[in-house]
Every structure is written in C-alpha cells, then in structure tokens.
C-alpha cells in the first residue's frame, strides 16, 4: 500500500494520505483531501498527482508561483518512486510503500487494567498541566475539519502530543470475511512522524473490542529470559486499546503503544497510564462522534440528489433501516433524451456546449420528479429513472407520476404532442408493479435505485416512444392506478395497442394520455379494435381518417403490410417488437 507523507520542516505539522491507483488528486493550500495549510509558499492549487500503481506522477500547474524541487532541481513534471521525496517551499512530500504489521498473538501481560468508558469520564486527571490546554486545542482543530482524512490526521497527532511517552498510534477498522473477524490498520502515525508502526497485540485488541472496554497492558521493561510468561510487542512495554464506532457503520479501535514514562511524585506507573487512558478515550470518543457527523452530512448531501427536500424529515435516527432495500408497489418513470449521442458524434468539437445543454435538460427532468415527491432512482447517460411508492407510500397519490411526465413533455415537446411533424425531444415510459427499492452503497458512496419488472418494462416502453413518435407511453397497470384517482377524468387515456416488447415474454397494453380533445381519436379506437380482431379491411378504412403523422397508425399499417394485407390464420392481435 502506498502513501504520501507530507511534513513541515519548520514545525511538527504533518499528514499522511493513502494513494489510490489511477485516481488523480491535487495538493495545495485550499484542497480538501490534501491540504497544506501551513506553507504560504504553496499555491491554493499547486500540482496534480496520480499514483499509477508503482510511481507517483507529479505535474505542477502553470499558475503555481513557487517551483517544485525534485532531486534538488526545480521540475514541472516528474515521476517519484517509493522512498523518494520532493519539496515545495518548506514542506517535504515523501512517497512510502509501507504498511504496519497486522495484530499478532502474544502471551499475557504483566499488568492489565480494564475500565469502562463511562467510568473513565467520571474520573479526574491525576496530573492536569498541559492536558486541558491540549484538549481545548483538540476540540478547536477537530470541529473545524470538513474532511474525514483530515480528522483522522489531527486525531492521531493529538494523541501523540497528549501522551508524551507513546511512540505509535494506529486506527484499526473491523473487517469480516467468511465469518472471520479481524482488525486492519487503516491509518497510523509515529513519534518521529515517518516510521511505520510495528506489530500490535491481537489479544489486547480482541479483549477491548469484544468487551467494549478500554484496556491497558503493561509488560516488564527489563530484558526477559527465554521462556518467560510475558512477551512485549514491537519492543514496547505498554499498549492500550480504545474501542470505537466511527463513520456510520464502522467498528474499530485506537491502539497506542510506547515506552513507559518515568515516575513522577507519588504516582505509580499504572496511575500515569490510567491518565493516558482517560486522555485517549476523550480524544477517541470525540473523533468517533465527529466522524459520524461528517459521514451523516456526506450521506445527507448524497441523498439530496435523490430525494425532495422534506421527504426525509421526521425520520428516526436509524436512517439506514428506513432507506434499506425492500419490496414496494412502485410507479416507475423512465425518461430518455433524444438525439444527444448523434449530435455529439456529429459535432464532437462542441462537446462542452452540448454537455451544458444536456445538463440543463436533465435538471428539468429531475426537478419535475422531485416536485411531485418522487425519488431519483438512477442516471443512465442522458436518461433518468424516477419512481414513486418508496420510502413513503406515495402511491396514495399516484398522479405525481403523470404530473411529472406532463411537465416534462410540455417543457420539451409542447402541449399538442400526439401528432407532430417533428420527433419529440424526449421519450417517457411509465410502468407500475411490485419491485425492490432502496439505498445501496458504502460509507463513501451511495446509490438509490429500484429493481424489478416495472423498471425493465418502463425502460422498454420508453424505447417504444421513438418508433411511435409519441413522447409519453404507459402500461396497463399504471393506467389503472392513475384512473383510480377521483380527479382524473375517465376518458384521459388512449389505448394504442398490445405490444410484446423486446426481451419480454408477456404482451403489454400500451396507453398514452390525451393532450386535448381530438376528433379523429375515435377513428383510431375503432381501427385498433378491427385490427386486433383480424378485420383488417375495416381497420384500414378507419385509419384513412387518422393523420399520417400519428405514429401508432403507421405501426398498424406496417404490420398489415408485412402480411400483405391478409390477417394470418393464427392471430392474437399482438404487435411484436424485436428491438429496444
């Protein structure tokens, strides 16, 4: 595992960050994840860096004022191997390819102290000089963090500053694989600022995390004869473990170790270390609380992309359970923009204007969904999926889906869209049925989506809008749901035909909604009945009174032409669609 270690050569300020392969990042004074606030010679955005898996690629921005020194020479672009460093101002950046040793089994300690966190908080410091000032400074620094990595860095540094005889501090995270629980180092720091911590005590960590107690182990500091019952870990004669729950669902621990301090006054070594436990627990609990707050803020920011403001108000603190995937009766809307892919290919030199135009159009779609209490389910390039029925039972007011569709259609195609000489700018498919909806993701990324038959059907129905030239189509289930609303006029929907869509075995009755009173729609209704019953001569006669621009008319004539105007002996009235 590779890390970038930054340290100020004029002070003790420093941080280390894990490097993710092929993920570019920026170092500077104002960057969130890799800030170098202490050095005024570093620009707000000084250089872009990328770890390619074996080397760190560094490229200085042209607007950065001061040079980047690598191998004692100013360079604007270069590669850094693990073990090498570069310098900007008075800050040194070192690339390391190291990882602390995983916890190891060991024999019992000479002394063990186990204290419940609530008891620690009740106790007073036996030696207070310097501790109160450090805690005050810690709260100020930690509460100003808006990035989890920065919070971790400050936490580890404050622990080393507050426990002067500690050498190493490691943040561990619980990992479960095939029912085996282990604790893996995810961040660390050391007294000298660059050494990698050695091994840690597996039994100490297990004891602390399983009992949810703060545990201290002390080993003899004299040389041990071979076969002694006590074994020190990584050359240290004491270690403590503070169990934590940080981020949203992460269980872990803080592990500190070092060489014991000299006795002062009447204090015993255990009393001194108990003071250290209290300090470590205060720092650890503050870190855990702030870490969860940052994660909740990040999660809320992510959820705001999917939910309308106020939809999550009043939710209990167990947001994860409330938004967890579950079955629900959904109305799904799938909307796809027309012509964007072809336009970008034809005008590849104007991608930015086309991207901006697409972004503005997608904003119209998402705003319409959110305005009707819908949930943004997913983005597929220039297409958007929204749904109703989760997390609240919004199907008690199903007109939200149709109002959304009408707003989108009016914005992109105008009021009279059933019979247009120009193709619609967007296609909308709506389907209803039982599906699974919920929030999936990690602590760093979240996605709200739905899975199931109505999702696939809505996508297929949207694909049908293009050959039919009708921008809004619905399946029979959605139409029935919408007709149950007392405010919906009974003659609002027009049946366009029975289609077996590509990839689906069951045929689907396809409907659209009337945009206005249209006299020739009765002719199409009659033609469709004749067509499905096999009376094609009568169907053609009725279609003569339907405008040629009406796409469903063309679809019926195309099927009849395929059979040269003669209805086949085996006919179920279903129109087959072979392509999406």
Binning pLDDT at 50, 70 and 90, where does residue 405 land?
A: confident
Write out the H or E segment, with its range, that includes residue 575: strand 574-576
313 or 196, which is more confident: 196
Share of the chain above pLDDT 70, in %: 80
Cα separation, 399 vs 406, whole angstroms: 10
Q: Which pLDDT does position 23 carry in this prediction? A: 87
Write out the H or E segment, with its range, that includes residue 211: helix 202-211
Pairing between β-strand 85-88 and β-strand 91-96 as defined by DSSP bridges: antiparallel
Q: Which pLDDT does position 419 carry in this prediction? A: 65
Q: Per mean pLDDT, which range of 174-183, 280-289, 305-314, 471-480 is the poorest?
A: 305-314
pLDDT of 499 over the 90 cut: yes
Cα separation, 573 vs 508, whole angstroms: 11
Q: Which pLDDT does position 227 carry in this prediction? A: 44
Could you tell me the residue ranges of all domains in the chain? 3-96, 111-299, 319-516, 519-580
Backbone φ and ψ for 258, nearest 5 degrees, come out as: 175, -165
Look at the block and give the residue holding tokens 């186990």: 114
Look at the block and give the residue holding tokens 């620009």: 43
Tokens encoding 476:
């029979």
445 or 150, which is more confident: 150
Pairing between β-strand 574-576 and β-strand 493-500 as defined by DSSP bridges: parallel
CATH 3.30.450.40 assigned to 111-299: yes
**Quick one: average pLDDT of 498-506?**
92
**Quick one: average pLDDT of 233-252?**
82
Nearest to 16 by CA among 103, 75, 85: 85
Cα separation, 284 vs 254, whole angstroms: 7
Contact 387, 333 (CB under 8 A): yes
DSSP single-letter state for residue 363: H
Binning pLDDT at 50, 70 and 90, where does residue 501 land?
A: very high
350 or 39, which is more confident: 39
Encode pLDDT of 20-42 as tens digits: 888 888 999 888 677 888 899 99
**Quick one: average pLDDT of 55-76?**
93
Tokens encoding 399:
């007109």
Cα separation, 390 vs 375, whole angstroms: 8
Cα separation, 139 vs 276, whole angstroms: 17
Cα separation, 514 vs 493, whole angstroms: 6
Give the three-state DSSP class for 454: helix
Q: How many CB atoms lie within 10 A of CB 246?
A: 27
Contact 169, 156 (CB under 8 A): yes
Bridge partner list, 329: 434
The second-level CATH assignment, the architecture, of 3-96 is Sandwich (2.60)
Tokens encoding 561:
């032409």
541 or 20, which is more confident: 541
Cα separation, 111 vs 32, whole angstroms: 43
Binning pLDDT at 50, 70 and 90, where does residue 228 land?
A: very low
Most confident range, picked from 95-104, 161-170, 277-286, 537-546: 537-546
Nearest to 338 by CA among 414, 403, 406, 413: 413
Tokens encoding 269:
């070594």
Q: What is the CA radius of gyration of the chain?
A: 33
Tokens encoding 373:
């209490």
**Quick one: average pLDDT of 321-329?**
84
Most confident range, picked from 212-216, 224-228, 293-297, 437-441: 212-216
The second-level CATH assignment, the architecture, of 319-516 is 2-Layer Sandwich (3.30)
Backbone φ and ψ for 118, nearest 5 degrees, come out as: -65, -35
């Amino acid at each position: 595992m590779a890390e970038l270690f930054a340290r100020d050569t004029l002070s003790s300020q420093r941080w280390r960050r894990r490097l993710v392969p092929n993920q570019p990042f920026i170092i500077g004074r104002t960057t969130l994840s890799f800030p170098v606030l202490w050095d005024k010679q570093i620009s707000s955005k000084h250089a872009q860096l990328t770890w390619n898996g074996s080397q760190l690629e560094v490229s200085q921005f042209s607007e950065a004022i001061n040079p980047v020194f690598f191998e004692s020479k100013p360079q604007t672009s270069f590669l850094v191997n693990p073990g090498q460093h570069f310098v900007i101002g008075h800050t040194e950046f070192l690339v390391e390819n190291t990882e602390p040793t995983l916890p190891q089994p060991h024999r019992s300690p000479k002394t063990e102290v186990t204290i419940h966190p609530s008891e620690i908080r009740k106790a007073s410091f036996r030696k207070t000089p310097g501790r109160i000032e450090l805690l005050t400074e810690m709260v100020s620094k930690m509460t100003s963090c808006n990035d989890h990595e920065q919070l971790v860095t400050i936490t580890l540094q404050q622990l080393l500053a507050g426990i002067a005889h500690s050498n190493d501090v490691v943040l561990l995270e619980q990992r479960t694989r095939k029912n085996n629980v282990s604790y893996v180092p995810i961040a660390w720091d050391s007294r000298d600022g660059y050494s990698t911590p050695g091994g840690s005590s597996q039994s100490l960590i297990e004891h602390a995390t399983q009992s949810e107690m703060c545990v201290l182990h002390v080993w003899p500091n004299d040389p041990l004869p071979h076969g002694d019952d006590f074994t020190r870990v990584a050359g240290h004669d004491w270690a403590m473990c503070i169990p934590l729950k940080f981020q949203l669902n992460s269980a872990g621990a803080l592990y500190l170790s070092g060489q014991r301090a000299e006795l002062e006054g009447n204090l015993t070594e255990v009393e001194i270390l108990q003071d250290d436990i209290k300090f470590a627990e205060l720092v650890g609990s503050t870190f855990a609380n702030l870490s969860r707050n940052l994660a909740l803020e990040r999660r809320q920011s992510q959820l705001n992309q999917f939910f309308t403001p106020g939809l999550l108000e009043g939710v209990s603190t167990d947001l994860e359970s409330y938004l967890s995937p579950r079955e629900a009766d959904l109305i799904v809307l799938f909307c796809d923009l027309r012509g964007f892919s072809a336009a970008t290919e034809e005008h590849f030199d104007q991608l930015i204007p086309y991207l901006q135009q697409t972004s503005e159009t997608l904003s119209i779609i998402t705003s319409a969904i959110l305005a009707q209490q819908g949930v943004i389910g997913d983005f597929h390039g220039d297409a958007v999926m929204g749904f109703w029925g989760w997390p609240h039972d919004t199907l008690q007011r199903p007109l939200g889906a149709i109002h959304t569709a009408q707003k989108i259609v009016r914005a992109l195609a105008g009021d009279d869209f059933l019979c247009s000489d120009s193709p619609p700018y967007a296609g909308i498919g709506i389907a209803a049925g039982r599906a699974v909806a919920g929030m999936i993701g990690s602590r760093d990324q979240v996605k709200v989506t739905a899975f199931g038959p109505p999702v696939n059907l809505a996508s297929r129905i949207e694909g049908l809008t293009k050959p039919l030239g009708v921008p809004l189509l619905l399946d029979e289930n959605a139409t029935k749901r919408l007709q149950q609303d007392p405010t919906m006029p009974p003659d609002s929907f027009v049946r366009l035909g029975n289609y077996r869509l590509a990839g689906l075995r069951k045929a689907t009755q396809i409907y659209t909604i009337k945009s206005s009173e249209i006299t020739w729609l009765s002719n199409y209704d009659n033609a469709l009945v004749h067509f499905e019953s096999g009376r094609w001569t009568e169907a053609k006669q009725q279609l003569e009174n339907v405008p040629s621009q009406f796409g469903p008319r063309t679809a019926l004539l195309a099927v009849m032409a395929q059979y040269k105007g003669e209805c086949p002996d085996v006919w179920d009235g279903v129109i087959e669609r072979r392509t999406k």
